[in-house]
Structure 1
Amino acid sequence: MSRSPRFNGYLFFFMGTLFFMLAIQSAGQTSGWDVLTILLVAFAAFDYMLAFKFFGAAGKQAQENNNSNENK
């Protein structure tokens, strides 16, 4: 059984937030923006993008389920 898109969305949103917090800590410990900080922010942005994609898919799936139930 596969996971729902909403669960995947929450998972990627949590991971993006974690990477973002690590990037903030990394920037605070160093003199500013270094390679590690930029990579962490890039991973966070990628995770947020995937999270919103999964949230959109969950919304479409719910809408399709509502439409199929109304047609019965």
Structure 2
Amino acid sequence: MRQTPLFSGIIYVVLGIIFTLFAIQNVNTDGEWGFFSILLVILATFDFGSGFRLIRAHFRMKKQKNEP
């Protein structure tokens, strides 16, 4: 079974949410922005960007498929 860009995009967005929550928790625990917190935010940013790009690609491919 092949994964669609929509499914992969949703997975990336969920991972971005998880990394963001971990970064928030880490900052609340330590009380400051450390290396690990910044790394988690960078990973979340990449995941959100990739996820939204894949979701947009899914809808573009679906639109092109439905056009005559």
TM-score range, shorter chain: over 0.9
Secondary structure of the 1:17 match is: helix
- The 5 A counterparts of 1:3-42 are 3-42=3-42
Q: Which one has a bigger Cα radius of gyration?
A: 1
Gaps of 5+ in 2: none
1:62 is matched with 62
Question: How many pairs were matched up?
Answer: 68
Letter in 1 for 2:21: M
Q: Structure 1: state its 5+ residue gaps.
A: none
Quote the residue 2:48 is aligned against.
48
**TM-score, normalised to structure 2's length?**
0.95
Please report how far the alpha carbon of residue 31 of structure 1 lies from its aligned counterpart in structure 2 after TM superposition: 2.2
> In the aligned structure 2, how far is the partner of 1:15 from the partner of 1:25?
15
* TM-score (norm: length of structure 1): 0.90
Shift >2 Å, 4+ stretches: none
Measured on the aligned residues, the alpha-carbon RMSD in Å equals: 0.8
